[in-house]
Amino acid sequence: MSSEQIPSAAPSLSRLIQELQKLPGIGPKSAQRLAYYLIRLPDDDAYALADAITAVKQQIVLCAECQNLTDDSPCSICSDSRRDQDVVCVVEDPLDVLALERTRCFRGLYHVLHGVISPLNGIGPEQLKLKELYARLSGKQVQELVIATNATLEGEATAMYIRRQLAGSELKITHLARGLPVGGALEYTDELTLSRAFQGRQEL
Amino acid sequence: MAPPRAYQCEAVTLKKFPLGEADLLVTLYTRERGKVRALARGARRSNSKLMGHFEPLTQVKLSLAQGRDLDHVVQAQVVSGFALLKGDLGAIAKGLYVAELVDGFGSESNPNQPLYRLVIEALHAIEAAPESDLPLRFFELHLLQVSGLMPELYRCVECRQTLTPGRHRFSPNLGGALCLDCNPTDARLRPLSLRTLKVLRLLHRTPIAELPALSMDAALARELKALLSTTIQYWLDKEIRSNSFLEHVHHVAGTEV
Ligand SMILES: [Zn+2]
Ligand SMILES: [Zn+2]
């Protein structure tokens, strides 16, 4: 499976192929294709890519407040005084913040867990940014916690776990509604989604 | 080119892994073929007909097409989503422990219908009594049985004498109970009280749905659990990853009440 299968590749090239192969979803064939693509790139473009990788590794830090990736801590969302400081939305990872920001319907703050409880992969609550969350919530400011983990078994388990850890606090804890996807047909919708959609039905 | 060979089966999803932009690589335990790893193309897209059908601990009817490396899911229909189980954190932890052990003990292209039935029964039992640990103990003992590793509970594994009522010992690696007189050198001996032996025999001969609500004190529950999990661990011979979350959830629940 390794690039050792291409004996003719120059050492610097096989090193690149090997590094590319470590990326998610990249197999040996795709790694080779990408490597040859990169070699044919104009020098400026290739160095710009290398620079971007170096810069991101040197500059990106976690926001001390929300744990999102940022160049400066606190991040632009946490330091924006126009945002609602009473509501914190918990998400699994930074891409979820981008997805929710695109909807423009949430004006509160975020908290990024950097993962989800995944017992089969040996990932437990202690590996998530939960201590940081509890610390934020111990101040009086936050009134509502919106749990926006994915609607997967692991996302739901993480939501249940957080709710249980915060049982007894005066915080209002909400959860994104589960239901039919836009464009989804009842016929092909799984039983669990359908029953959750039914429970969450709304008056027209 | 000949059309891909298709087949129907019933299965429970043990785990899933995202692949590429929108695909899922799923590990299924099927009634017909044992463990099967299959590709569900596009199953992570919200408009996919397969969306939501492959969450772990979901029982599905499937039609699969044989591929060169991996079989592909053509169609899927949920038989049981175990919605109640998935609404309880402790039950999820138990269900995932069951899934991990089936993944470990089940083998590919080696159908084992009793194992398939056991998983489904165990998930239903956990769902029916999420607070009880008995469904897990039942599952562990019967997992050993359907895997051909049933521990001996009636005779000494060394001298073959029928066990008399009293205290005995248990050896995971020699395959069951030992009388107090036998002392083989390579046995990893554990104490086996008469109470624990009786519970093991009861678990062995009672169908899961008919298990009485046993009230076990903490010492008995601990001995039973330790004995079964060391035996499972001995045969599996690798770390059971879901164990730490199971213990964690248990611990938190225990301190709450
Ligand atoms: Zn921030
Ligand atoms: Zn003996």
Q: Does A125 touch chain B (CB under 8 A)?
A: yes
Tell me the pLDDT band of B257, cut-offs 50, 70 and 90.
very low
Q: State chain B's mean pLDDT as an integer.
A: 92
B9/chain A closest Cα distance in angstroms: 18
pLDDT given at position A1: 47
Residue ranges of chain A whose pLDDT lies below 70: 1-8
Structural domains in chain B, CATH included, are 6-81 (2.40.50.140), 84-253 (1.20.1440.120)
Count the neighbouring beta carbons within 10 Å of the beta carbon of residue B164: 10
Q: Are residues A134 and A88 in the same domain?
A: yes
Q: State what percent of residues in chain B have pLDDT above 90.
A: 79
pLDDT (tens digit per residue) in B196-205: 999 999 999 9
The residues with which B78 forms a beta bridge, in sequence order, are: B60
pLDDT given at position B202: 95
Residue B144 scores a pLDDT above 50: yes
Q: Does A182 touch chain B (CB under 8 A)?
A: yes
**How many angstroms is it from A163 CA to the middle of ligand 1?**
22
Q: Does A105 touch chain B (CB under 8 A)?
A: no
Three-state DSSP at B53 gives: coil
The average pLDDT across B119-138 equals 95
B240: left (phi over 0), alpha (psi -120 to 50) or beta: beta
pLDDT given at position B253: 58
Q: Can you tell me the distance from the alpha carbon of B98 to that of B10, in angstroms, rounded to the nearest whole number?
A: 18
Which ligand is nearest the CA of B158, by number? 2
Q: What angle, 0 to 180 degrees and rounded to 10, lies between the N-to-C axes of helices B194-205 and B218-236?
A: 60
Using the beta-carbon criterion (under 8 Å), do B96 and A119 form an inter-chain contact? yes
Tell me the pLDDT band of B255, cut-offs 50, 70 and 90.
very low
Residue B170 scores a pLDDT above 70: yes
Q: Can you tell me the distance from the alpha carbon of A80 to that of A88, in angstroms, rounded to the nearest whole number?
A: 14
A117/chain B closest Cα distance in angstroms: 9
Which ligand is nearest the CA of B156, by number? 2
**Contact list, A152 vs chain B (CB under 8 Å):** 55
Q: Are residues A54 and A143 in the same domain?
A: no
Q: Are residues A100 and A30 in the same domain?
A: no
Q: Are residues A106 and A176 in the same domain?
A: yes
pLDDT (tens digit per residue) in B47-99: 888 888 999 999 999 999 998 889 999 999 999 999 999 999 999 999 999 99
pLDDT (tens digit per residue) in B172-192: 999 999 999 998 888 889 999
Residue A17 lies in a domain: yes
pLDDT given at position A111: 98
The average pLDDT across B148-168 equals 95
Q: Are residues A169 and A87 in the same domain?
A: yes
- Residue in chain A lying closest to B239 (CA): A122
**How many angstroms is it from A111 CA to the middle of ligand 1?**
8
Query: Which residues have a Cβ under 8 Å from the Cβ of A157 and sit 6 or more positions away?
Result: A116, A117, B89, B92, B93
Residue A66 lies in a domain: no
pLDDT given at position A35: 94
pLDDT (tens digit per residue) in B7-39: 999 999 999 998 888 899 999 999 999 999 999
Residue B1 scores a pLDDT above 70: no
Domain of residue A135, residue span: 81-203
CATH, residue A102: 3.40.1360.10
Using the beta-carbon criterion (under 8 Å), do B241 and A121 form an inter-chain contact? yes
